[in-house]
């Protein structure tokens, strides 16, 4: 009897718990607050055509406490091909660790970042938690087919968020001197200053995943659309306390008309700026705002590539710490670089006699030549929103600085003494061995480079005739240009070694380089001539005569290149 009574009480208790549990869950759900956002959407158009975006997202809850585990921030899916890099970091302290990965949601028309908090983020009423989301968009600038200083630009005027936004304040910063032309997709307010031009747009109560794509036409003479498939930053540490930088660029021009000079960004405090091309010194004029205008060696037409090097110095005390005989170099390797670089290489040359202690990150190559050490670090992609870090510690004795002048003085004294003692016939000049392996490697790379250039010409013709989709064309072109940049990088040390060999080998290299410059100039002139003829700026007779002259120059340059390559092949058989 007592057992039955106990079982009855237990059954009643379980029934009451079952009835009360849904009520408790429902009540807890009702108490969970709703999280919304305020967004500062800031976009900056670089001279190169790259669009840098910073979204400051403030998360708030109005009445009740709420928690959040993840948030999506990005752009509409029709801008997917243009979004290249995206990062996120918390601005509120104490911050909660978060992870970022790219995500695509078809039903929500979204592409961007999925930001996940390592721990659920609690928010109290009136409290704000701020996240900064940074990303870059490429190929947003399309040159006008006729006007060289007019462009069509496409950009996300409203970002795509997984939360409702009470307010989205959008600002587009354009280079100084730009003008917004009539006929834009959205009605905006424009403000002009000496520093820049600001295009502003405001929208309230933005629903989740309601990002908007906008377009407008602008007149901006300072925009120079380019791509940079390869860049090498060479950092030279001198034994005399000088920090010299050599930036070598491979630039592809994407604008309309001819490019005769290019504005290049510089790191802060850069001084003594110079420039150098394949044939000698170039004119470089340093400007305010950490920039320099470089006069190119040969004018560049759309789709063509140009290579040049910018040289400058940085203040030693800003980047190098010294304690006795120990030195530490700390800097951001991509400081001042406002372009996206597909293949970015950093090379550090230490003073003679220095010994490396610690390098972070781990270099891909360590090389010693005599008493000099060189390290190289390769990065697959470089973007302005991802600052890189380099720390290098080494030991160096000040005895090495006066050592070389002392050796030269002693050598000169010995020569004078020997000449005074006796005059003897000069010894036979030793025969310099022919660098067979270097010549063979150079010829193989040159052959591969010519094959890639022919393939680039072929796919451009296919795309022009509409036989190849634009997406496939861009993908193949970028792959070929990246390979071309790697080959050009590999050929430079081979050229230097062949120049040092002297004689016929050095003459052949000089012959090839001069002929290549002549070939590039003649091909550019032929394209400009064709454009002028299509615009009916010259007569048919003048067009045919000038075209014949350009073809003669091209044939002569190609013949000279073949002669130079033939000389190198003859050296292999010598």
CATH number (domain holding residue 53): 2.60.40
Tokens of 389: 């870090």
- Which pLDDT score is estimated for 32? 62
pTM listed for this prediction: 0.67
**Residues near 9 by Cβ (< 8 Å), separated by ≥ 6?**
none
Is residue 385 within 8 Å of 85, Cβ to Cβ? Answer: yes
pLDDT score of 171? 97
Condensed to tens digits (0 to 9), the pLDDT of residues 375-395 reads: 888 876 778 888 888 999 988
Q: Do 331 and 366 lie in a common domain?
A: yes
- Residue with token string 């400081």: 335
CATH of residue 317: 2.60.40.1730
Gap between the Cα atoms of 271 and 337, Å rounded: 16
Chain centroid to Cα 334, Å, comes to 9
Tell whether 181 and 211 lie within a shared domain. Answer: yes
Q: pLDDT at position 352, please?
A: 80
Integer angstrom CA distances of residue 172 from 54, 72, 160: 11, 22, 17
> Please, which residues have CB within 8 angstroms of residue 15's CB and are 6 or more apart in sequence?
none
In a domain, 25, yes or no: no
Is 421 inside a domain boundary?
no
Considering the domain architecture, whether residues 250 and 343 belong to the same structural domain is answered as yes
| 62 in the same domain as 100 | yes
Considering the domain architecture, whether residues 100 and 115 belong to the same structural domain is answered as yes
Of 219, 248, 266, the position where a domain reaches its end is 219
Q: Give the per-residue pLDDT at 563.
A: 81
Per-residue burial over 298-308, b = 16 or more CB atoms within 10 Å of its CB, e = otherwise: bbbbeebbbbb
In a domain, 486, yes or no: yes
Would residue 26 count as lying in a domain? no
Task: Give me the numbers of helices (H) and strands (E) for the chain, helices first please.
Answer: 7, 30
Check whether residue 260 and residue 326 sit in a common domain. Answer: yes
Task: Tell me whether residue 423 is in a domain.
Answer: no
| Final residue of a structural domain among 163, 197, 219 | 219
Establish if 298 belongs to a structural domain: yes
Domain that holds residue 282: 226-400
How many domains are there within the chain?
3
Residue numbers in the chain where pLDDT is lower than 50: 1-3, 14-30, 400, 429, 431
276 and 146 within one domain: no
Burial of 121 (0-12, 13-18, 19+ CB in 10 A): buried
- Angstrom distances, CA of residue 533 to CA of 259, 303, 399, 509: 20, 20, 67, 36
- Among 186, 219, 252, identify where a domain stops: 219
Q: Are residues 214 and 241 in the same domain?
A: no
Buried b (16+ CB within 10 A) or exposed e, 489-524: bebeebbebbeebeeebeebbebbbbbbbbbbbbbb
């Amino acid at each position: 009897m007592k057992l039955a009574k106990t079982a009855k009480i237990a059954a009643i208790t379980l029934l009451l718990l079952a009835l009360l549990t849904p009520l408790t869950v429902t009540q807890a759900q009702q108490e969970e607050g709703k999280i919304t956002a305020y967004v500062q959407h800031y976009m900056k158009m670089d001279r190169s055509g790259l669009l840098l975006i910073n979204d400051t997202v403030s998360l708030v809850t109005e009445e009740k406490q709420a928690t959040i585990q993840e948030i999506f921030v990005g752009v509409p899916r029709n801008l997917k091909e243009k979004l290249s890099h995206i990062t996120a970091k918390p601005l509120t302290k104490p911050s909660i660790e978060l992870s970022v990965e790219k995500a695509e949601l078809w039903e929500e028309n979204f592409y961007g970042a999925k930001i996940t908090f390592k721990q659920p983020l609690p928010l109290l009423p009136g409290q704000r938690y701020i996240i900064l989301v940074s990303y870059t968009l490429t190929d947003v600038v399309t040159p006008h087919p006729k006007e060289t200083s007019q462009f069509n630009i496409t950009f996300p005027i409203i970002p795509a968020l997984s939360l409702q936004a009470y307010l989205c304040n959008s600002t587009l910063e354009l280079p100084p001197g730009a003008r917004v032309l009539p006929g834009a997709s959205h009605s905006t307010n424009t403000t002009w200053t000496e520093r820049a031009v600001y295009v502003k747009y405001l929208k309230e109560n933005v629903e989740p995943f309601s990002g908007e794509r906008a377009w407008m036409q602008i007149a901006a003479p300072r925009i120079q659309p380019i791509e940079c498939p390869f860049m090498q930053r060479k950092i030279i540490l001198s034994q005399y306390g000088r920090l010299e930088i050599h930036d070598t660029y491979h630039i592809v021009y994407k604008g309309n008309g001819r490019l005769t000079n290019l504005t290049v960004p510089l790191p802060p405090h850069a001084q003594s700026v110079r420039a150098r091309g394949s044939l000698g010194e170039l004119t470089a004029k340093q400007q305010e705002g950490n920039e320099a205008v470089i006069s190119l060696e040969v004018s560049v037409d759309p789709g063509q590539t140009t290579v040049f090097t910018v040289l400058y110095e940085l203040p030693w005390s800003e980047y190098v710490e010294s304690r006795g005989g120990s030195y530490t170099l700390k800097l951001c390797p991509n400081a001042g670089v406002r372009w996206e670089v597909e293949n970015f290489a950093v090379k550090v040359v230490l003073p003679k006699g220095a010994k490396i202690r610690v390098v972070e990150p781990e270099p891909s190559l360590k090389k010693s030549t005599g008493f000099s050490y060189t390290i190289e670090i390769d990065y697959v992609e470089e973007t302005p929103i991802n600052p890189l870090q380099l720390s290098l510690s080494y030991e160096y004795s000040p005895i090495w600085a006066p050592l070389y002048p002392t050796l030269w003085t002693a050598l000169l004294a010995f020569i004078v003494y020997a000449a005074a003692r006796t005059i003897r016939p000069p010894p036979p000049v030793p025969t310099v061995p022919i660098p067979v392996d270097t010549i063979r490697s150079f010829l193989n790379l040159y052959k591969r480079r010519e094959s890639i250039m022919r393939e680039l010409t072929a796919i451009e013709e296919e795309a022009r005739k509409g036989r190849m989709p634009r997406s496939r064309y861009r993908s193949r072109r970028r792959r070929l240009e990246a390979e071309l940049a790697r080959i050009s990088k590999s050929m430079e040390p081979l050229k230097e070694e062949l120049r040092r060999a002297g004689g016929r080998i050095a003459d052949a290299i000089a012959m090839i380089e001069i002929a290549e410059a002549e070939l590039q100039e003649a091909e550019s002139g032929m394209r400009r001539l064709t454009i002028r003829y299509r615009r009916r700026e010259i007569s048919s007779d003048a067009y045919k005569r000038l075209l014949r002259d350009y073809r003669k120059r091209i044939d002569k340059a190609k013949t000279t290149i073949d002669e130079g390559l033939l000389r190198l092949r003859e050296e292999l058989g010598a």
